[in-house]
Amino acid sequence: MAKILITDGMSADAVKSLKAAGLQVDEQHYDEPELIKVIPKYDCVVVRSATKITEPVLEAATSLKLVVRGGVGLDNIKVDYAEKLGISVRNTPRASSASVAELALSFIFAIARRIPDATVSMKDGKWEKKVFSKGFEVQNKTLGILGIGRIGMELAVKASSLGLETILAHDKYVDDTPFRWIEMVSKDELLEESDIISLHIPAAGKVPEISHEEFEKMKDGVILINCARGGVVDEDALLVALNSGKVYAAGIDVWVGEPNPRRELVEHPSVYCTPHIGAATGEAQARIGAEVASIILREFGKA
């Protein structure tokens, strides 16, 4: 009987389907030292973003055949090292695309009309109509999408129906899209021409994708949305851009120091923020769970 460890939670229906197939399923989060102790008895481990599958964990995983990431990014898993040890690594890239794209849109509208600020003001018993009467319309603005994969494409399609005048896209790995109304441009052109820039690119390497040089190329008063990964934006450079007014506001769901984000950013009056909840909808979680279960059942011959 294959033994499955789920460390960061999974939908109840997905867990039920694994157990019904005769697999042993344990649901428990472990920090690295404890995970190293228990991992030898498992054939498969399922993680989200909290658990880190490091080289020491993999070295201790003497029975492990499969690591599944319930989500898109694999930056919390030492993929190359796992594959060197003969351990397969899989993820669920399609399941959460709509939810993440909708969060990016939510940030855009929240910033445009300052909805969170107005809500806090109202709850404090104030009626600051003049303060919040300086919003702007999203329609007829230019949206730049850096990374036009599944999530970026979802955002483009949703945004196009809302009247955004121009949708620009740049991707290192994509030259064209099925939609003629998405203009594929250079990275510099996207930075220079966009009123709103939304990031949907993989985890950064040693050099952030957006730093001081990139901010200098952007329009004054640009809006920046990051629902991709912490680290794709240089946080020092972002603070400078926010304080100078180069960036009118930023919507941030992902952070370098998760789960301890940089307080200067969280508390900045022009930052609208959430605790990495891009895929945290009931619908996305159900799809992620179903896809994870399908991967595991195929691997262990129960599908």
Residues 85-97 pLDDT 10s: 999 999 998 899 9
Contacts of 118 (CB under 8 A, 6+ apart): 128, 132
Q: Percentage of the chain with pLDDT > 70?
A: 99
pLDDT band at 20 (very low <50, low <70, confident <90, very high): very high
- 27 catalytic? Reply is no
Residue 193 has a pLDDT of 98
Residue type, 133: S
Catalytic site residue from 102, 193, 258, 299: 258
pTM above 0.85, yes or no: yes
Catalytic site residue from 170, 200, 276, 287: 276
What token pair was written down for 255?
A: 């952070």
What token pair was written down for 159?
A: 């945004």
Residue 203 has a pLDDT of 81
User: Residue 55 pLDDT more than 50?
Assistant: yes
Q: Which residues pair with 210 in a beta bridge?
A: 233
Rg (CA), the chain: 21
* Domains of the chain and CATH, by start: 3-93+282-299 (3.40.50.720), 97-273 (3.40.50.720)
Q: 44 near 90, Cβ under 8 Å? A: no
- CB atoms closer than 10 angstroms to residue 38: 16
pLDDT band at 71 (very low <50, low <70, confident <90, very high): confident
- 258 catalytic? Reply is yes
Q: 3 near 41, Cβ under 8 Å? A: yes
Task: Return the H-helix or E-strand segment holding 243.
Answer: helix 235-244
Residue 21 has a pLDDT of 93
User: Residue 61 pLDDT more than 50?
Assistant: yes
Q: What is the pLDDT of residues 199-225, one digit of tens each?
A: 999 887 778 999 999 999 999 999 999
Mean pLDDT in the chain? 94
Q: Per-residue b/e over 208-243, b at no fewer than 16 CB within 10 Å?
A: bbbbeebbeebbeebbbbbbbbbbbbbbebbbebbe
Over range 60-77, report the average pLDDT: 92
Residue 302 has a pLDDT of 54
Residue 202 has a pLDDT of 86
Q: Is 173 helix (H, G, I), strand (E, B) or coil?
A: coil
Residue 228 has a pLDDT of 94
**Strand ranges across the sheet with 166-170:** 182-184, 166-170, 142-146, 196-199, 222-226, 247-252, 271-273
Residue 50 has a pLDDT of 87
Q: Percentage of the chain with pLDDT > 90?
A: 87
Over range 138-155, report the average pLDDT: 95
Over range 1-27, report the average pLDDT: 94
List C-alpha distances in Å: 60 to 15, 47, 56, 74, 223: 25, 17, 6, 20, 45
Cα(181)–Cα(179) distance, rounded to whole angstroms? 5
User: Residue 158 pLDDT more than 60?
Assistant: yes
- 298 catalytic? Reply is no
Residue 301 has a pLDDT of 64
Catalytic site residue from 229, 262, 268, 287: 229
Residue 303 has a pLDDT of 41
